[in-house]
Structure 1
């Protein structure tokens, strides 16, 4: 007698060569483990490489694919099975796709640069990729002032092939960097571009992060740590992207008709490294207060402690804080402590009780409540999603 479990043979056509794609694969795998009968087909390949092995005599019930070439789109179309796209290239119409929330990514990147006290911003992009174009558009929309912003944008040359010999653009990039008001925070469209920009800054002796602070996207740990200096980066929720794509495909393979639309996945936060380890605040008293707060991120301080360090009344300090950083001292304390919790969750195996003790918080329950209020996730959910663990139930 059969088990009664309906078997699903699913083609996973996602590269294994970069951190973001591997995060998607972890999410797909986690979902598949929760579903009896799912069998995954995956081969090792790089981005933009054509893996045609699945197009032979294999019989698939569905596919999740990063459709990034015309040939890949043709093969997927010929397969004629339910398919979910996890690429921004948009080479097949009529199918659902799951991608990063580029507006949220841009807001996080700019918010982080503002947290460093920066007031001048620029964008370094690669228009070969749609998500770079969308991030640039969000950059322009959020900052406004098109008369100024256009001069703050540098894009690598448009081309038909994925590879670009970016070092041939060194002189143009140097001239652009020289033209930017300093200090400046640069939002690089992804970690690869961020690393390239840091190499050019090092080559031409631009001071990072004192004069040029750089933040990328994807938080590719190896790439970010190998950069000189190490690269700050927005952390996408690639794991949830994979889970969501698998859940959508499951519904489609069960006969549900889903229209073409983008399912946007919000990022998890920012991983700060040396490339943005700077604080630029013109108001000396506010700068002193912020430095005190950051130095005591692992202590249970309040606004009263800050006022003992800065010879200002609470009302005056709050007014000057708002003018300089667009937030109150209390909000800065919460923000810094939230980031301290993030770092401990990312970089250690400490339990919630141990993190609470390290931060001078008496009750772990309070830490969990305040962290979820600030981030929308419990500490455990945050750690699991960043590390690509634990199946996530996706709402309809």
Structure 2
């Protein structure tokens, strides 16, 4: 049997989802025996690690990378934290993650942007650069606060420097946190300081750690990496290396999934409070059968007046904003799920599949199926 080690901590959803992708690939390899921590796998103690034929590892720093190099076996890194070019990598496209964060936060209308990161790890730096690129920001001018990963893990410890930094940020501000852990700590500090989220600071994280994000108050919006694909493709790369079909160091970046929007970013910055309130409702309820008349009613202003304000400030009608939100949801489902077109239309708030096809093609200049096929190729 070929012994495949999984050097993962299994302390978060990232590791569990990557492992799930590995297991999916391993099912096609009858001679693979997967070893990892926890009750789900054959043991991966120190002795077993030394007897592995190959390793999929979440390498967190240079010291860990050097240790894995001493094993003398094929290794695929799924973290991208170290800048040492010792191993092939299959990992999240961190630059594109930053780009997605920047594009999303810009759309919400914030004039001020900031960054919370992890020091001296490659993936955090790439997310920061992508964020600056998408927002046309100069990295040296971006308000930033970075600490070590272990520092961020002490969620409930107070820190005067972080408190001062958050207090001094110009508000309202959109804050991109490099992961959900830092986003959670930021929220806890904001609560102690009386800083309102999302009205004063919008918080966006990465990893979509569902339990952490949902338990936070307010719940945390987060970008979802495609961890199962990372695990599956890491296994495929390792298989190719074992079969002597791949040589040298290769890096494959897996595009992240969509922003999972929650309460921490569910606000639109706009000088007109009625339009801002209406847009907040649209973002929250567009896919649940929301009508323009209901938007006007909840905005406490006559529909004609609200429509005029939308035209003036956003260049759209209320119906167009609702439709855009529904189509955006549909595009995300087409890109990141295998649900049928009819199910996608229904979950995106369209009561008629024919109407969905017509509006989708008008907006994206291709059918929903063509869009899905195009995204599958990229």
Distance 1:343 1:204, change over 3 A: farther
Distance 1:245 1:162, change over 3 A: farther
- Indicate conservation of the 8 Å contact 2:26/2:32, yes or no: yes
1:37 aligned residue (31, 40, 62): 31
Distance 1:218 1:132 in 2: 12
- Indicate conservation of the 8 Å contact 2:65/2:82, yes or no: no
Distance 1:292 1:267 in 2: 27
- Indicate conservation of the 8 Å contact 1:183/1:212, yes or no: yes
- Where does structure 1 lack aligned partners over 5 or more consecutive residues? 1-6, 383-393
Farther off after superposition, 190-199 or 257-266:
257-266
Structure 1 position 80 matched with structure 2 position 50: no
Structure 1 position 217 matched with structure 2 position 206: yes
Alignment of 1:1-396 (within 5 A): 7-44=1-38, 52-56=46-50, 58-60=51-53, 62-69=54-61, 72-90=64-82, 93-146=85-138, 149-150=141-142, 152-156=143-147, 165=154, 170-283=159-272, 287=276, 290=279, 293-294=282-283, 295-299=285-289, 309-310=303-304, 320-321=313-314, 332-338=321-327, 340-341=329-330, 353=342, 356-357=345-346, 359-363=349-353, 366=356, 370=360
Offset at residue 35 of structure 1 (A):
2.7
Distance 1:198 1:368, change over 3 A: farther
Greater relative CO, 1 or 2 (CA 8 Å, sep 6+): 1
Distance 1:196 1:220 in 2: 14
Cα shift readout 1:290-314 (whole Å, capped 9, x = no counterpart): 4675454434979xx99x9455999
Cα shift readout 1:95-132 (whole Å, capped 9, x = no counterpart): 21111111211122222223333221111112143222
Distance 1:226 1:124 in 2: 20
SS at match of 2:325: helix
SS at match of 1:79: coil
Offset at residue 253 of structure 1 (A):
1.1
Cα shift readout 1:211-244 (whole Å, capped 9, x = no counterpart): 1110110000011112121111111111111111
Distance 1:286 1:147, change over 3 A: same
Distance 1:255 1:395 in 2: 26
- Indicate conservation of the 8 Å contact 1:84/1:95, yes or no: yes
Cα shift readout 1:249-301 (whole Å, capped 9, x = no counterpart): 11111111333232111111011111112122225685477467545443497
Aligned to 1:3: none
SS at match of 1:209: coil
Equivalenced residues, count? 360
Distance 1:103 1:321 in 2: 29
SS at match of 1:260: coil
- Indicate conservation of the 8 Å contact 1:106/1:139, yes or no: yes
Offset at residue 21 of structure 1 (A):
1.3
Aligned-residue Cα RMSD (Å) equals 4.3
Distance 2:139 2:344 in 1: 47
- Indicate conservation of the 8 Å contact 2:266/2:280, yes or no: no
Distance 1:26 1:164 in 2: 25
- Indicate conservation of the 8 Å contact 1:286/1:321, yes or no: no
Offset at residue 44 of structure 1 (A):
3.1
SS at match of 2:174: strand
